C-alpha cells in the first residue's frame, strides 16, 4: 500500500500517522460547522504533507462524512420526529420533506462539480491552491453580505426552502466554498432566524456529507489508498467527538460569530500556500 510522505521525504511513523489523523479530525470537526470550508482545510493539511492537490481534495471530501455521524447523534430527536412524521405529520414530516428536497437539489449541482473539480485541481497543481484562495475571498464577501440581510421570520416551506438551500449546498463541492456558509446564507435570505438557519443547515449536512463520502468510496476510491487506515480511523473518531462539541457551542453563540474575517485570513494563508513547492507521493 502506498505510504504518505512527509515534507522532508520520509515515510510517516506510527505516531505521526496518529497525529495526522487526530489533526485532520479536529480540523473537520471544527470547520464543518462554521462558514469555512472544512474540506479545503483538510486539502491544505494533506497537501502540506505531500499529497497532490487533486487527491487531497478527495480525501477531504471523504472525511466530511464523519461529521454526519456526529450530527445524527446530536439531532437524534429530530431524526426520530422525522420518522414519526411519516404517519403522524407535523414538524417531523415537514423536516423530512425538507431534507428530501434539499438533498435532491444538492445532487444536481454537487455531483458534476465534484467530478470537475478533482480533474481541475490535478491539472493546475500549485495553481489549484491559488484558485482555492480566490474562492475563499468570494466566500468572505458572501458572508459579509449575510450580515447585511434584514432579520425576518418565516415558517418552513419544505419544497421551496429545500430546493433553494439544496442548490446552494451543491456549490460547496467547490474547494474554498463552505457548505454551512452557503446553506446558512440561503436560509437567512429565505427569512429564517440565525439559530433556525443553523439547525436546518446542520440537519442538511447529514445526507450531504454522506453523499460526498459515498462518491469517493464508490467512484474515486483510489484516493483512499494514498494514506494509511490509521489516519482515516483516528481522523473519523476525532471528528465525531469535536463535532458534537462544536455544534453545541455554535447553537448557543450563532449570532456572535464574524466568520467573514476568518475566511479572509484563510484566503491569504491559502494564496501564500500556493507559492510553496509541490511535494508528491
Is there a domain that residue 15 lies in? no
| E strand or H helix that includes residue 139 | helix 127-146
- Rounded Cα distance, 42 and 51, in Å: 11
pLDDT of residue 165: 93
Query: CA 195 → CA 9, 59, 191, 227, distances in Å?
Result: 46, 30, 12, 38
* C-alpha cell read off for 257: 460569530
Residue 34 within a domain: no
Please report the pLDDT score of residue 239 as a whole number: 93
The answer to whether residues 235 and 63 touch, using CB atoms and an 8 Å cutoff, is yes
How many domains does the chain contain in total?
A: 1
pLDDT reported for residue 1: 36
Q: Which of 216, 219, 205, 220 is nearest to 106 (CA)?
A: 205
Nearest partner of 201 among 65, 77, 75, 27, judged by Cα: 75
Between 77 and 185, where is the model more confident?
77
**Is 133 a domain residue?**
yes
With respect to residue 30, please indicate whether it lies within any of the assigned structural domains. Answer: no
pTM beyond 0.75: the answer is: no
Q: For 85-131, how does the pLDDT look when each residue is reduced to its tens digit (9 = 90+)?
A: 788 777 888 999 999 999 999 888 887 876 676 556 555 445 555 66
d(CA 163, CA 81): 21
* E strands present in 48-150: none
Contacts of 280 (CB under 8 A, 6+ apart): 5, 50, 52
**Residue 256 placed within a domain:** yes
The single residue listed with the C-alpha cell 478527495 is 58
Beta carbons within 8 Å of 46's beta carbon, 6+ residues apart:
24, 55, 56, 59, 60, 227
Report the distance separating Cα 110 and Cα 128, nearest Å: 19
Mean pLDDT of the chain: 77
Ranked by mean pLDDT, which of 28-32, 88-92, 240-244, 277-281 comes out on top? 240-244
Parent domain of 218 = 39-273
25 lies in some domain:
no
Check residue 226 and give its pLDDT.
79
162-187: per-residue pLDDT in tens?
A: 999 999 888 877 766 778 877 877 88
Percent of the chain with pLDDT over 70: 72
Q: For residue 280, tell me if it sits in a domain.
A: no
CA–CA distance, 43 with 57 (Å, rounded to integer): 5
Does 264 have pLDDT greater than 80? no
How many other C-beta atoms lie within 10 A of the C-beta of residue 124?
15
- Please state the rounded mean pLDDT for residues 135-161: 72
Per the domain annotation, does 138 fall within a domain?
Answer: yes
Rounded distance, CA 30 to CA 32, Å? 6
Task: Tell me: pLDDT of 13 over 80.
Answer: no
Write the pLDDT tens digit of every residue in 14-68: 677 788 889 889 989 988 887 667 777 787 788 777 777 777 878 888 888 888 8
90-124 and 158-170 are packed helices; what angle lies between their axes, rounded to 10 degrees?
20
Amino acid at each position: 500500500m502506498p505510504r504518505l510522505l512527509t515534507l522532508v521525504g520520509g515515510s510517516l511513523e506510527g505516531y505521526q500517522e496518529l497525529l495526522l489523523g487526530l489533526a485532520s479530525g479536529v480540523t473537520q470537526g471544527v470547520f464543518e460547522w462554521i462558514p469555512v470550508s472544512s474540506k479545503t482545510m483538510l486539502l491544505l493539511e494533506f497537501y502540506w504533507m505531500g499529497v497532490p492537490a487533486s487527491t487531497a481534495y478527495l480525501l477531504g471530501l471523504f472525511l466530511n462524512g464523519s461529521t454526519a455521524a456526529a450530527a445524527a447523534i446530536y439531532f437524534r430527536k429530530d431524526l426520530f420526529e422525522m420518522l414519526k412524521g411519516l404517519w403522524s405529520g407535523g414538524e417531523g414530516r415537514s423536516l423530512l420533506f425538507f431534507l428530501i428536497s434539499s438533498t435532491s437539489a444538492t445532487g444536481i449541482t454537487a455531483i458534476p462539480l465534484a467530478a470537475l473539480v478533482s480533474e481541475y485541481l490535478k491539472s493546475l497543481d500549485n495553481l489549484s491552491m491559488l484558485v482555492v484562495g480566490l474562492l475563499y475571498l468570494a466566500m468572505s464577501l458572501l458572508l459579509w453580505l449575510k450580515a447585511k440581510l434584514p432579520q425576518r421570520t418565516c415558517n418552513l416551506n419544505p419544497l421551496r426552502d429545500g430546493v433553494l438551500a439544496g442548490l446552494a449546498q451543491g456549490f460547496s463541492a467547490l474547494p474554498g466554498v463552505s457548505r454551512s456558509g452557503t446553506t446558512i446564507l440561503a436560509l437567512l435570505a429565505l427569512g429564517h432566524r440565525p439559530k433556525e438557519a443553523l439547525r436546518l443547515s446542520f440537519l442538511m449536512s447529514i445526507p450531504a456529507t454522506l453523499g460526498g463520502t459515498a462518491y469517493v468510496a464508490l467512484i474515486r476510491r483510489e484516493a483512499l489508498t494514498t494514506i494509511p487506515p490509521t489516519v482515516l480511523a483516528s481522523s473519523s473518531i476525532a471528528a465525531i467527538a469535536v463535532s458534537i462539541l462544536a455544534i453545541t457551542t455554535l447553537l448557543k453563540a450563532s449570532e456572535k460569530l464574524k466568520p467573514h474575517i476568518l475566511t479572509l485570513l484563510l484566503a491569504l494563508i491559502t494564496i501564500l500556500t500556493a507559492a510553496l513547492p509541490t511535494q508528491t507521493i
